[in-house]
Amino acid sequence: MENKKHCVYCGKVIETKSKEHIIQNAIGGLCVSEDICCPECNACLSKSIDAPFTKIFAPMTSKIRNFVKTHNTKSNPSYKGFAQSSNDQQVYDVVIKEGQVVSSKKFSQVHKCDASKADWTILASCFDLDNDSYKNGLSKMAFNFALQHSVSIDLLKDKIAIKTQNDKVIDVKFKFQVIPFIALNPLDKYIELNTPMLLYHNLILFNENNQLWCYIDLFNTFQVYILLTDKWDSNQEIYRSYLQLLQQIDRDMPDLKNLDVKDIYILAAQYGVEPIADMKEFCKSIANVVQKRSLISNMADIISQKLSDDYFPTGKMEDMTPEEISFRLESLRFYFDENDRLKYGLYRKETLVNGKNFEIVSYPQWINKLSGEGAINLTDYTYAKFYRLVNYLNEKRDNSTKEVQ
Ligand SMILES: [Zn+2]
């Protein structure tokens, strides 16, 4: 007898299974769970949270080559966003309506002309962290990921406001604290800003004493921490990561057309695909599963791959102070083992602080502390990440960067 699950929103027993994407399907999320919610609540959240959230990313997903899944929704009423001007290649805050830039205060100041008449590449509307759609979508993702890793709903539910009407859930709001990520040590700065662009989504669930956090990195650009609870049992260490690439690697696809029927069945069994009578459809579903599987990667593999000799760039080391060099070296030793492989359990959880003997601190707490004191500027880093994505998607790649193999 299968143990029946309860819907986390309405509390009813889940009689009919429905697939809940941990990362929203429209932005390429491949991982699903059928144990989180009932079909009614799934539909409700998909409309109230997922649709407005994924719309933010529509201008980007449409530009990604070999993107796995794309539902492009049409742009709706005006919203604040970012766009790159073809006049000077700069990114400006703009107001967008029906897929067109209608105004930009800064652009008009600089160029003394009407922004709606200029030529723009629209990017996204993600940097407004007070944007409820953005916060809610990220919060739901962190919440889903925690549930998938058996975090009890009882620990999380006091931060979820559920509105019901006639015994039905009509609206859900997440009230988790959202903190933007900013690279604080030389190794993270190097990985994020100086290595070749590689599109992925990355989630890391971890505890720091009694705080349970989820680090989210979407498109390797939009990076935040979500504080899920501060009532976590500090004796129970947790660290779980999920990383998926967003662009299909062609060479990983098996050539099904040239396989014997017998080998097709073997492949299907390996990937857990049920045989069906229609051979063409059968091959299609095998290809689909193989494709998805090849995109889900080990986080340590991907991050370790990024480390190269450029981390200690020849010719530039002379310009660094001894303190800078030792901060570089200590950060490397902190995250990577002697074989230059990422150590499990530390990445994005903790960081070293330059200064007295390289103190180890909680990454999100330190960001929170520094930004509270006005000691760091969140915008510069966020913009730098954003420029990289924009240039990558527009194929204006820096020739000095190498493609990751
Ligand atoms: Zn429900």
pLDDT tens per residue, range 139-158: 999 999 999 999 999 999 99
| H or E element that contains 108 | helix 105-111
pLDDT of residue 66: 67
Query: What is the residue-wise DSSP string for 213-279?
Result: EEEEEETTTEEEEEEEES---TTS--EEEEEEESB--GGGS--GGGS-HHHHHHHHHHTTPPP-S-H
Rounded distance from Cα 161 to ligand 1 centre (Å)? 14
**CB-CB contact of 20 with 40 (8 Å):** no
Strand partners, 215: 204, 225
**CB-CB contact of 213 with 228 (8 Å):** yes
| Cα distances (angstroms) measured from residue 116 to each of 27, 85, 96, 263 | 28, 11, 9, 58
Rounded distance from Cα 292 to ligand 1 centre (Å)? 28
Rounded distance from Cα 44 to ligand 1 centre (Å)? 9
Angle, to 10 degrees, between the axis of helix 186-193 and the axis of helix 378-393?
Answer: 30
Rounded distance from Cα 40 to ligand 1 centre (Å)? 6
Rounded distance from Cα 133 to ligand 1 centre (Å)? 21
Domain ranges of the chain: 20-64+132-179, 79-124, 180-247+298-393
250, amino acid identity: D
What DSSP designation does 137 have? H
By the CB criterion, residues less than 5 angstroms from ion ligand 1 are 7, 9-10, 38, 41
Whole-number Å distance between alpha carbons of 228 and 145: 11
Whole-number Å distance between alpha carbons of 72 and 8: 29
Whole-number Å distance between alpha carbons of 403 and 195: 9
Q: Which residues of the chain have pLDDT under 50?
A: 1, 70-76, 126, 250-251, 396-405
**CB-CB contact of 358 with 327 (8 Å):** yes
pLDDT of residue 129: 55
Pairing state between β 177-180 and 168-174:
unpaired
Rounded distance from Cα 148 to ligand 1 centre (Å)? 17
Query: What is the residue-wise DSSP string for 8-34?
Result: TTT--B--S---EESS-GGGT---EES
**CB-CB contact of 49 with 81 (8 Å):** no
pLDDT of residue 75: 37
Would you say the pTM of this structure is higher than 0.85?
no
Rounded distance from Cα 10 to ligand 1 centre (Å)? 4
Question: In Å, how far from its chain's centre is CA 296?
Answer: 13
With CA atoms as reference, report the closest residue to 21 among 54, 63, 57, 52.
54
- Residue in this structure with the two tokens 């705080």, named with its chain if needed: 211
Rounded distance from Cα 288 to ligand 1 centre (Å)? 30
Rounded distance from Cα 17 to ligand 1 centre (Å)? 11
